[in-house]
Amino acid sequence: MDWETVIGIETHAQLATASKIFSGAATRFGAAPNVQACAVDLALPGVLPVLNRAAVEKAVCFGLAVGANINRRSVFARKNYFYPDLPKGYQISQYELPLVQGGSLSVMLKDGEKTVRLTRAHLEEDAGKSLHEDFHGMSGIDLNRAGTPLLEIVTEPDMRSAEEAVAYAKALHALVRWIGICDGNMQEGSFRCDANVSVRPKGASVLGTRCEIKNLNSFRFLEEAINFEVRRQIELITDGGSVVQETRLYDPERRETRSMRSKEDAHDYRYFPDPDLLPLVISEETIEQIRSGLPELPQAKRERYMREYQLSAYDAGVLTSSREVAEFYEHLIHALGGGYKLASSWIAGELFGALKRAGLEISQSPIGSGQLADLLRQLQNNAINGKQAKQVFDAMWNREGDAAAIILARSLTQISDAGELERILDGVLAANPKSVEEYKAGKEKAFNALVGQAMKATKGKGNPARINDILKKKLAN
Amino acid sequence: MLNASLKQLSAQLAQRKISSVELTQFHLDRIARLNPGLNAFVTVDAAKSLAQARAADAQIAAGKGQPLTGIPVAHKDIFCAKGWLTTCGSKILGNFVSPYDAHVVERLNAAGAVILGKTNMDEFAMGSSSETCFWGPVRNPWDPARVPGGSSGGSAAAVAARMAPVAIGTDTGGSIRQPAALCGICGLKPTYGVVSRYGMIAFASSLDQGGPIAKSAEDLALMLNVMAGFDARDSTSLARPAEDYARALDEPAAGDRAKPLAGLRIGVPKEYFGAGLGADVGAAVEAALAQFEILGAKRVAISLPNTALSVPAYYVIAPAEASSNLSRFDGVRYGYRAPDYTDLADMYRKSRAQGFGAEVKRRILIGTYVLSHGYYDAYYLKAQRIRRLIARDFVQAYEQCDLVLGPTSPNVAFALGAKVSDPVEMYLNDIYTVAANLAGMPAMSIPCGFGEGGMPVGLHLAGNYFAEARMLQAAHQYQLASDWHLRRPAGVE
């Protein structure tokens, strides 16, 4: 039987605010335990939550970026359960009336584009951390993270493979960073995914029983966990069993998912509107103000690059993979006064290659957009050829100086002078009569051999285009 | 001295006829003498109080005295006060010393008032008799065999026995007004949002309001002037311009001194005078209504048709909120933790089982039940709808009248232990008071006579949103024409 996989993703994106969602304590990562937990975070008797408007603005920003409906009135609710790192005994979240509803995200796949529909995105507070080592059989509680603002983004069950799920997660990750609402740091837990996975016979209309896989903090784990889970569910059904709705945890060391709790053990969270917080009301002005502050979004930018710069969908996609890359590209073409395709191929080629080898982000590149523009201008002006440009790039990468200095220091100036090239080519033709004969007999390859000889004679400094032209003229005679 | 108003005490302090240290010591001495029999105070710290009194004296000497500077105030043990044991009447907070001040405490301290001590209360303010306290029951100064009402029974008994000139309390369903009535003194619950809840340990967040407990309407007004005010730390605090609640006290309407309440329409709901109301209480309230008419007020017969639903709605909403509010008392970060446990779940179970008393557990169970999956709509949502109906009843009533008058409590103070085994009977004590909390409107109680056994009877005055000054004026004018509020229990001289 052919099986179809159905996946929905829930993502917790930590909103990049200076202070917590309901208190004035700082949200910085990595502080000593409990130094960033104030009376409100500790849930001392008598303390009350006060909503941080910056978190609301970031959530609205996200809603606008995905074309969602911003509920003008949304409600904070209490989700009640006991856990030592949940100081109040309830988490303040949004339940029946979330701030953001609907919307969608366009995802680039190998074979085209796919739209993943979003169900909702709501604001909530994070819990603290329980630490089970180093406490002599007891647990330590660090409440620094308690009260950190989160946006929980929930999709419809629109993805059909682990690859699609990963593509969605990457697109979402890029978007939240693009609009500056989340730093996207997955190691620090700023961007965490849960996957709801089910399988069904291909063509079936009803969904299979799903399992939720928790806390997948890398794209690789997301992919591995889904693939494992799909195999597990198919085997289970094929062997005559059935999938039990449950929450599972991915174990990256054993590369398998494990049951965490079944539906029967699920908490009754006893949601009810938090009486300490008034309903959240968003005015039209606030929405318009946030809308006007939104940067050009990746999809719009991608389409514009294709339209205005005649880039391929692939190249435009690469250049809009992050806001930093797009900004680098735009600075570069601005400095060059054009050169759209040249700039695109150098970023996607040399620069990305070097960054990947060095394990760096584009923001950490030793070659800035202005420096790269200096280099590409030399290429545009025919002062150097492509091969030389790559040498110069490598030297710049090693911080040997700017393009002009390196060209000078290495005497890399390209030979474009017609007289000099004619002289050199006469020598090449004289020295390679066999190739000349072959070319005249119709062997195109012989032409390339002659060009190669000419480049060799110029020690790689010859302008290949000019050499081509002159050689063609001479051979035509 | 025992019946001196805040205004008189303030004048004496300002004129240096008495110092705050002397005034504070005077009350500390009374506490030392009377409290063993009444159990109104759970924490007294003479050194701390006297230090504050000395600072107040210095302020007065420097000419920087304000109306409450140097006045000792008894604080219900629900208000967090920095450095003070703050137990909320519970074993689970039996060791909790607050590291911070509630907004109300901050404001009283800034005004130069002295914290005289922390008063006993029903555990987490859940009770109408001050019998559910972990620290033992409070006794009524008028008859120590009887309850003082609750939950602010300690504050009410402290003022009634003149152990404190004035006190603060909280009111979720009548917890200021009912003990004030049963102890023959005055208490006011302001409009929801007028007094910040920051630092007031939550019972039912959408109903809780702090307010003053005093000997007279005039004292209530002076206290409310300090207690009220916007606080950004409470999202339900109302940002309104500051109001002088004493401004209208001496305003006889239309300038007629004999009829100072001329023009005031007092609504008398028929539902408040039916079955369940004690004849003695009914008679005293009727006499008070007649007095209001003599003072010029016009009596209007009104109806509040959903009155009977207020207690059931209240006992769904309040426990629901409480069940969640009290989850933080888990033995993890502060408060009581059971000494022996096997694992985390066992620690929670034992700490809460041992730390909470029976009434608190009952309400946590009720609240947990009504919020549970499958029951939420039938109980919680329905109660919220009733709540809106009750508020609508009042809004409509205030088209016909300015204030709604009636009894505060159906009966005078009952004997200790008389109702502990019958919670529903106990809950019915709140029949006349809970509606103001459900509607978020202001209400107060003032003494208006005596009933069975010579026990005080309270008159309930309720008003529309922000009608505090109007209510206080009516009560003050009534008190100028009567002396119920000056009567003191025998045996506490």
* Domains recognised in chain A with CATH numbers: 3-289 (no CATH), 296-409 (no CATH), 418-476 (1.10.10.410)
| A to B CB pairs, distance under 8 Å | 95
Higher pLDDT, B244 or A473: B244
The Cα of B338 is separated from the nearest Cα of chain A by a number of Å equal to 15
Q: Who among B206, B235, B324 is closest to A51 (CB)?
A: B235
Instruction: Show the tokens assigned to A324.
Output: 């930093």
The Cα of B184 is separated from the nearest Cα of chain A by a number of Å equal to 30
Verify whether the Cβ–Cβ distance B371 to A272 is below 8 Å: yes
When pLDDT is cut at 50, 70 and 90, the band that residue A134 belongs to is: confident
CA-to-CA dists, residue B287 to A151, A288, B280, angstroms: 61, 62, 11
Phi/psi for A124 (5° steps) reads: -160, 170
For every residue of A245-265, DSSP letters joined together read PEEEEEETTTTEEEEEEEGGG
The Cα of A313 is separated from the nearest Cα of chain B by a number of Å equal to 50
Instruction: Show the tokens assigned to A463.
Output: 């302008």
Residue B263: pLDDT over 80: yes
Q: Is the ipTM of this complex over 0.90?
A: yes
Residue carrying structure tokens 């209360």: B121
Nearest-angstrom CA–CA distance, A93 and A123: 6
For every residue of A296-362, DSSP letters joined together read PPHHHHHHHHHHHH---HHHHHHHTSSHHHHHHHHHHHHHHTS-HHHHHHHIIIIIHHHHHHHT--G
A42 touches chain B (CB under 8 A): yes
Contact assessment for residue B390 and residue B173, using Cβ atoms and an 8 Å cutoff: no
When pLDDT is cut at 50, 70 and 90, the band that residue B391 belongs to is: very high
| Side chain identity, residue A412 | L
When pLDDT is cut at 50, 70 and 90, the band that residue B197 belongs to is: very high
Contact assessment for residue B309 and residue B375, using Cβ atoms and an 8 Å cutoff: no
When pLDDT is cut at 50, 70 and 90, the band that residue A331 belongs to is: very high
Q: How many CA atoms lie within 13 A of A235 on its CB side?
A: 6
Instruction: Show the tokens assigned to A21.
Output: 């969602």
When pLDDT is cut at 50, 70 and 90, the band that residue B253 belongs to is: low
Q: Model confidence over B13-28: pLDDT tens digits?
A: 999 999 999 999 999 9
Longest dimension (CA), chain A: 98
Q: Who among B200, B326, B332 is closest to A46 (CB)?
A: B200
Nearest-angstrom CA–CA distance, A119 and B99: 43
Ramachandran sector of residue B118 (left: φ over 0; alpha: ψ -120 to 50; beta: rest): beta
Q: Which residues of B touch A89 (CB under 8 A)?
A: 324, 326-328, 330
CA-to-CA dists, residue B53 to B109, B114, B455, angstroms: 11, 6, 34
Q: Model confidence over A412-432: pLDDT tens digits?
A: 777 778 888 888 888 888 888
Return the percentage of chain A with pLDDT > 90, whole number.
72
CA-to-CA dists, residue B65 to B11, B14, B431, angstroms: 10, 7, 42
Q: Model confidence over B345-378: pLDDT tens digits?
A: 999 999 999 999 999 999 999 999 999 999 999 9
A419 touches chain B (CB under 8 A): no
Nearest by Cα to A241 from A249, A233, A230: A233
A147 touches chain B (CB under 8 A): no
Residue tagged active-site, from B175, B216, B323, B445: B175
The Cα of B176 is separated from the nearest Cα of chain A by a number of Å equal to 18
Instruction: Supply the pLDDT for residue B491.
Output: 79
Instruction: Supply the pLDDT for residue B165.
Output: 98
Instruction: Supply the pLDDT for residue B52.
Output: 98
Nearest-angstrom CA–CA distance, B164 and B45: 14
The Cα of A83 is separated from the nearest Cα of chain B by a number of Å equal to 9
Verify whether the Cβ–Cβ distance A48 to B233 is below 8 Å: yes
Q: Model confidence over A26-72: pLDDT tens digits?
A: 998 889 999 999 999 999 999 999 999 999 999 999 999 999 999 99
Mean of pLDDT values over A14-20: 97
Q: Which of A44, A88, A263, A267 to mutate to test the interface with B (most CBs of B within 10 A)?
A: A44
Partner residues linked to B461 by β-bridges: B405, B444
Nearest by Cα to B76 from B110, B6, B124: B124
Residue A38 buriedness (CB in 10 A; 0-12 / 13-18 / 19+): middle
Residue tagged active-site, from B10, B19, B20, B76: B76
The Cα of B205 is separated from the nearest Cα of chain A by a number of Å equal to 6
Q: Which residues of B touch A141 (CB under 8 A)?
A: 332-333
Q: Model confidence over A224-282: pLDDT tens digits?
A: 999 999 999 999 999 999 999 999 999 989 999 999 877 666 789 999 999 999 999 99
Q: Model confidence over B290-299: pLDDT tens digits?
A: 999 999 999 9
pTM: 0.91
Instruction: Show the tokens assigned to A246.
Output: 């449950």
When pLDDT is cut at 50, 70 and 90, the band that residue B254 belongs to is: low
**DSSP-derived pairing of the beta strands B443-450 and B186-189:** antiparallel
Residues B413-438 as b or e (16 or more Cβ within 10 Å = b): bbebebbbeebeebbbbbbbbbbbbb
The Cα of B154 is separated from the nearest Cα of chain A by a number of Å equal to 20
Instruction: Supply the pLDDT for residue B174.
Output: 98
A44 touches chain B (CB under 8 A): yes
A141 touches chain B (CB under 8 A): yes
Mean of pLDDT values over A333-343: 94
Residue B154: pLDDT over 80: yes
Verify whether the Cβ–Cβ distance B324 to A270 is below 8 Å: yes
Instruction: Supply the pLDDT for residue B350.
Output: 98
Partner residues linked to B167 by β-bridges: B74, B213
A53 touches chain B (CB under 8 A): no
Nearest by Cα to A124 from A148, A106, A105, A107: A148
List of residues 6+ apart from B309 with CB closer than 8 A? B386, B389, B390
A298 touches chain B (CB under 8 A): no
Mean of pLDDT values over B466-486: 97
Q: Which residues of A touch B233 (CB under 8 A)?
A: 48, 50
Nearest-angstrom CA–CA distance, B96 and B83: 10
| Side chain identity, residue A467 | I
Residue tagged active-site, from B10, B151, B196, B310: B151
Verify whether the Cβ–Cβ distance A272 to B320 is below 8 Å: yes
Residues of B near A (CB-CB distance < 8 A)? 79-80, 86, 88, 93, 96, 98-100, 102, 197-202, 204-206, 232-236, 320-321, 323-324, 326-330, 332-334, 344, 348, 368, 371-373, 376, 380
Per the annotation, the verdict on B351 as an active-site residue is no
Question: Rg of chain A over CA atoms, in angstroms?
Answer: 30
Verify whether the Cβ–Cβ distance A49 to B235 is below 8 Å: yes
Q: Which residues of A touch B236 (CB under 8 A)?
A: 275-276, 278
DSSP state of A15: P
Nearest-angstrom CA–CA distance, B328 and A432: 91
Verify whether the Cβ–Cβ distance B80 to A78 is below 8 Å: no
Chain A residue whose CA is closest to B376: A270
Verify whether the Cβ–Cβ distance A272 to B380 is below 8 Å: yes
Residue A475: pLDDT over 90: no
Q: Which residues of B touch A139 (CB under 8 A)?
A: 344
Q: Which residues of B touch A24 (CB under 8 A)?
A: none
Nearest-angstrom CA–CA distance, B451 and B444: 19
Q: Who among A48, A80, A271 is closest to B327 (CB)?
A: A80
Q: Model confidence over A153-178: pLDDT tens digits?
A: 999 999 999 999 999 999 999 999 99
Q: Which helix (H) or strand (E) holds A165?
A: helix A162-178
Instruction: Show the tokens assigned to A149.
Output: 């603002």
Nearest by Cα to B387 from B204, B195, B253, B233: B204
Mean of pLDDT values over A127-135: 86
Question: Rg of chain B over CA atoms, in angstroms?
Answer: 21
A39 touches chain B (CB under 8 A): yes
When pLDDT is cut at 50, 70 and 90, the band that residue B255 belongs to is: low
Instruction: Show the tokens assigned to B110.
Output: 């800034």
Instruction: Supply the pLDDT for residue A435.
Output: 86
Nearest by Cα to B145 from B137, B153, B133: B137
Through-space distance between the first and last CA atoms of chain A, rounded to whole angstroms: 70
